[in-house]
Amino acid sequence: MTSLRVVRFILVTLVLLILLSFGLSARAQNLLLHWGVSGGEVAQVQQRLASWGYYDGPVDGVFGNATADAVRTFQWKNGIAVDGLVGPETREALGIQTAAAQEAPAVSRGAVSDRDSVTLLARLIMGEAADEPFEGKVAVGAVILNRTQNASFPHTIAGVIFQPGEFESVENGQVWRELSTEAVRAAESAVSGWDPSGGALFFWNPAKPVSAWIWSRQIISQIGNHVFAL
């Protein structure tokens, strides 16, 4: 073997070792989706982004430019560092379970079956009702859960919360405020079945500017500064 062939053999071997090492590392982390990868998890991300209006490409499980652009737009809209990668924070915002979450015991029943969803529900409560009484916080959480059971809305908590244009706290980033213990307890109470809203699908603060359309809904209760309607 000539010296040139030896050098070439060594270089090729090094490249293969580096690629193998990278692949094993990514598999071990099992968290980071990025441009160029493919599979069922990518399809899940595409489907979630498409259902919320961020992605209009094919749900083919291939993480290409269109998927990366949609991820970046979603991250920007939801106050997440814009890198086009689907890591733990973006996964949580998308409502896609991490490996750790999948191993955690379930904490709820019905539409909610994982801790990530309870935390996300608490975030929405914190963003929309931080200054409301505890019963009002639970009612806001109940509205989200009621929507997951209604054919007019997405059927997951994340889908409802991140449906474009639905919640001011998602638009202005308040949904990512530090969680209070009460917000978490309110989310857990709502998940456990308490619905002080009376089955409402909408809530709003009448003292704030809102769409005229919302007043066409049937108001069924009021708690604190929020009215709740069907």
CA–CA gap between residue 81 and residue 130 (Å, rounded): 24
From the number of C-beta atoms within 10 Å of its C-beta (0-12, 13-18, 19+), residue 144 rates as: buried
Identify which has the larger pLDDT, 222 or 90.
Answer: 222
Dihedrals φ, ψ of 33, to 5°?
-105, 140
- State yes or no: pLDDT of 151 exceeds 50: yes
Cα 81 to Cα 42, 46, 89, 150, 162, distances in angstroms? 19, 19, 9, 32, 17
- Alpha helices, DSSP H only, in the chain? 3-29, 40-51, 65-77, 88-94, 99-103, 115-129, 134-148, 157-161, 168-172, 181-191
SS3 104: coil
Q: How many CB atoms lie within 10 A of CB 67?
A: 28
Query: Angle 55-59-60 (CA atoms, 0-180°, nearest 5)?
Result: 135
- State yes or no: pLDDT of 25 exceeds 50: no
- State yes or no: pLDDT of 12 exceeds 80: no
Please, which pLDDT band fits residue 13 given cuts at 50, 70 and 90?
A: low
Looking at the DSSP bridge assignments, the partners of residue 90 are: none
Q: Are the beta carbons of 228 and 203 closer than 8 angstroms?
A: yes
Q: What is the mean pLDDT of residues 163-190?
A: 88
Please, which pLDDT band fits residue 171 given cuts at 50, 70 and 90?
A: confident
